[in-house]
């Protein structure tokens, strides 16, 4: 009986953690196929140029509205990514590189090097510094990513980014 109760309590606790998916992040690293691992804390990010952004309707994979992000400000993701020197022997091979963004709940999104640095999409991927009038140090989503021009905006809206891993197709 005691064992059963213990199991039940652990199960409930685990489900609660899994459901909230909430592990606020105050920094992220850029690692993988880079010359040097870099870490960006919210204070480091504060030194980048921010821009005011239009409201963003977050839609799921079938296009249903989840919620709307308002009063947004953000830093272009590529302004930060450019600081990490890639382990590439020549410019041509950059077409083989990609960035995997990872949250502590193991949610992942992928951007190719070309998508970020060689298409208009790259001008629309932001690290949010302000949401709903709150600075990112105060939001539950902390360091979050948005891709303003996606058809379904939920997929590449990442809450709580913890890591960016640079990979190479081979
Ligand atoms: N860290 C993290 N961010 C995430 C997800 C997730 O599971 N973990 N799910 C994504 C998906 S698929 C969608 S549709 C939206 C949903 O946003 P909401 O859960 O805030 O409504 O969040 C995105 N950001
Ligand atoms: Mo989704």
Domain annotation covers residue 8: no
Domain with residue 35: its CATH number is 3.90.420.10
Number of the ligand closest to the Cα of 20: 1
DSSP-derived pairing of the beta strands 51-53 and 27-32: unpaired
- Contact in structure between 151 and 57 (CB atoms under 8 Å): no
The predicted structure's pLDDT at residue 83 = 98
Low-confidence ranges of the chain (pLDDT < 70): 1-21
User: Could you report the per-residue pLDDT of 17-66, keeping only the tens digit for each?
Assistant: 444 557 899 999 999 999 999 999 999 999 999 999 999 999 999 999 99
Nearest CA to ligand 1 atom 16: 154
Domain annotation covers residue 9: no
Confidence (pTM): 0.89
Q: How far apart are CA 148 and CA 37, in angstroms?
A: 28
Domain annotation covers residue 4: no
Number of the ligand closest to the Cα of 108: 1
Nearest CA to ligand 1 atom 12: 155
The predicted structure's pLDDT at residue 91 = 98
Nearest CA to ligand 1 atom 7: 107
Nearest CA to ligand 1 atom 6: 107
Structural domain including 120 reads: 23-168
Q: For ligand 1, what atom is nearest to the CA of residue 67?
A: 21
Number of the ligand closest to the Cα of 25: 1
158 burial type by CB count under 10 A (0-12 exposed, 13-18 middle, 19+ buried): buried
The predicted structure's pLDDT at residue 55 = 98
Separation of 89 CA from ligand 2 center, angstroms? 37
SS3 label, residue 145: strand
Pocket of ligand 1 from Cβ distances under 6 Å: 21, 58, 60, 66-67, 103, 105, 107, 154-155, 157-160
- Which helix or strand (DSSP H or E) is residue 113 part of? helix 113-117
Domain annotation covers residue 53: yes
Separation of 85 CA from ligand 2 center, angstroms? 32
Domain annotation covers residue 66: yes
């Amino acid at each position: 009986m005691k064992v059963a109760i213990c199991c039940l309590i652990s199960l409930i606790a685990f489900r609660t953690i899994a459901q909230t998916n909430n592990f606020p992040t105050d920094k992220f690293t850029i690692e993988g196929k880079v010359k040097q691992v870099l870490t960006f804390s919210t204070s480091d990010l504060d030194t980048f140029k921010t821009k005011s952004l239009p409201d963003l309707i977050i839609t799921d994979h079938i296009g249903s509205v989840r919620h709307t992000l308002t009063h947004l400000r953000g830093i272009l993701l590529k302004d930060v990514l450019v600081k990490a020197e890639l382990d590439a022997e020549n410019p041509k091979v950059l077409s083989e590189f990609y960035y995997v963004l990872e949250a502590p709940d193991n949610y992942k999104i992928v951007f190719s090097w070309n998508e970020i640095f060689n298409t208009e999409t790259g001008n629309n991927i932001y690290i949010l510094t302000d949401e709903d009038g709150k600075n990112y140090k105060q939001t539950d989503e902390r360091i979050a990513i948005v891709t303003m021009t996606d058809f379904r905006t939920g997929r590449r809206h990442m809450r709580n980014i913890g890591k960016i891993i640079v990979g190479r197709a081979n």
